[in-house]
Amino acid sequence: MSLRLRLLLALGFAVGAWGCGNDLTVTPLEAGSVDGLSIRDGLAVELFVDGLRGPTQFVVVDDGAVIVAEINGGENDGTGRVVRVDPATADVEVLLDGLDKPTGLALVGDELWVMERDRLTRGLIGGDRRVVADGLPNNGRSQGTLTVLPDGRILFDTSGSKRGSSVVDGSGRLFTVASADPGARPVEYASGFKHAYAHAVDAAGVVWSTEMTDGSFDGLPAADEVVAVQEGVDHGWPHCVGDNRPVAEFDGDAARCVDVPASQAVFAPSATPTSVAVSPFSEGVLWVALWNERRVVAVGTDPMLRPVPVVEVLSGLERPQHLLSMDDGMYVSDFGTGRIHRVTAG
């Protein structure tokens, strides 16, 4: 059995049935149980939380409540907040408000970490907050999500920004902060990203990141992607974009780009992958939320097959934002409808 066939069969187990034939044609998506969402055969989708206001990143805590960051208005209104929602009663408690575009949220023990447009803060829920980093360089919009690594470090990115052909100092990078150290400062983890918006760690300890490579390079748009992050390594941007395409206007060439970590999966330009999570349904599979394509897809992690096939698992969403894999299910937030759905094995 070929490596490609094994991956396709693995994806089929994870996201539903595959049709017969030499091309392994995927069976059509079936209508889901929530407002016309379409879900891969073998999975089921249900509404978990409703009534949110532009939800970005969220966590589900031990008592079943959801702590979620919300834009809560216009993107630049400065009215963002963090709320605690009880799915059973729909009760909402505002934990933080007046935030500037909160896109990242993490809970480590009793301490809540929040990433806004250009600052990262930490503090006990209901207590004083301390600024970990402020004035972070960015693309003028956001810094993406926060990820807790297995050793307790918080991983975040500074979205890439250029002045002419020069990268703004400190932008386009991934950083970590040791959550166990109250006085810890960010330490660079990897570089060369336009916008490493979201991240996930698989069972083997591999750190995966989405990459939004918006803009034009040598007059052409670049593909968005998922890549395995290598600590301490330059991942190419702006000299190499998409699947290691050299960019002459930024001094990129084949020799420079050949050693850049390759794309695991590529998406259309401006697909906007806002989240990546490890599938709870099968080993060796990641789920990725594609904001502008209004769908969630699955990709394999076998490095021998990259770029790997992209398989649609959930569609009909307005703006899929964040994925959270836990308790044998996948939670999917929809920024556009203010809902969080839960996908389980059907």
Over residues 167-187, the pLDDT tens digits come to: 888 889 999 999 999 999 999
Residue 63: inside a domain? no
Predicted local distance difference test score (pLDDT) of residue 55: 98
Q: What is the model's pLDDT at position 320?
A: 98
Q: What is the pLDDT of residue 30?
A: 60
State pLDDT tens for residues 322-338.
Answer: 999 998 899 999 999 99
pLDDT digits 0-9 by tens, 46-88: 999 999 999 999 999 998 999 999 999 998 899 999 999 999 8
For residue 214, what pLDDT is reported? 85
Above 80 in pLDDT, residue 163? no
β-pairing, 92-99 vs 104-108, is unpaired
Domain count, the chain: 1
Per-residue three-class SS string for the chain: CCHHHHHHHHHHHHHCCECCCCCCCECCCEECCCCCCEECCCEEEEEEECCCCCEEEEEECCCCCEEEEECCCCCCCCCEEEEEECCCCCCEEEEEEEECCCCEEEEECCEEEEECCCCEEEEECCCCEEEEECCCCCCCCCCCCCEECCCCEEEEEECCCEECCEECCCCCEEEEEECCCCCCCCEEEEECCCCCCCEEECCCCCEEEEECCCCEECCEECCEEEEECCCCCECCCCCEECCCEECHHHCCCHHHHCCCCCEEEEECCCCCEEEEEECCCCCCEEEEEECCCCEEEEEECCHHHCCCCCEEEEECCCCEEEEEEECCEEEEEECCCCEEEEEEEC
Which of 30-34, 158-162, 190-194 has the highest average model confidence (pLDDT)?
A: 190-194
Question: Per the domain annotation, does 190 fall within a domain?
Answer: yes
Which of 30-44, 85-99, 193-207, 257-271 comes out lowest in average pLDDT? 30-44
Rounded Cα distance, 336 and 10, in Å: 31
pLDDT for 215 equals: 84
Query: What pLDDT does residue 176 have?
Result: 98
Q: Does residue 125 sit within a domain?
A: no
183 domain-assigned? yes
CA-to-CA separations, 44 to 23, 40, 279, 306, in angstroms, rounded:
26, 8, 14, 29
pLDDT tens per residue across span 231-281 = 999 999 999 999 899 999 999 999 999 999 999 999 999 999 999 999 999
pLDDT digits (tens, 9 = 90+) for 129-149: 999 999 999 888 889 999 999
Q: Is residue 129 part of a domain?
A: no
Q: Return the structure tokens found at 303.
A: 């490095």
Confidence of residue 161 (pLDDT cuts 50, 70, 90): confident
pLDDT tens string 312-322: 999 999 999 99
| Arithmetic mean of pLDDT over the chain | 89
Q: Domain for residue 178, yes or no?
A: yes
Could you give the angle at the alpha carbon of 67 between the alpha carbons of 184 and 52, nearest 5°?
130
Q: Report the residue count for the chain.
A: 346
Which CATH number do you get for residue 156? 2.120.10.30
Mean of pLDDT values over 181-207:
96
**Domain-embedded: residue 213:** yes
- Confidence class for position 29, pLDDT limits 50, 70, 90: low
Closest CA to 105 of 58, 141, 148, 155: 58
pLDDT digits (tens, 9 = 90+) for 14-27: 443 322 222 222 34
Domain limits at 230? 3-52+146-345
133 lies in a domain? Answer: no
**Percent of the chain whose predicted confidence (pLDDT) is above 70:** 90
Average pLDDT over residues 154-171: 87
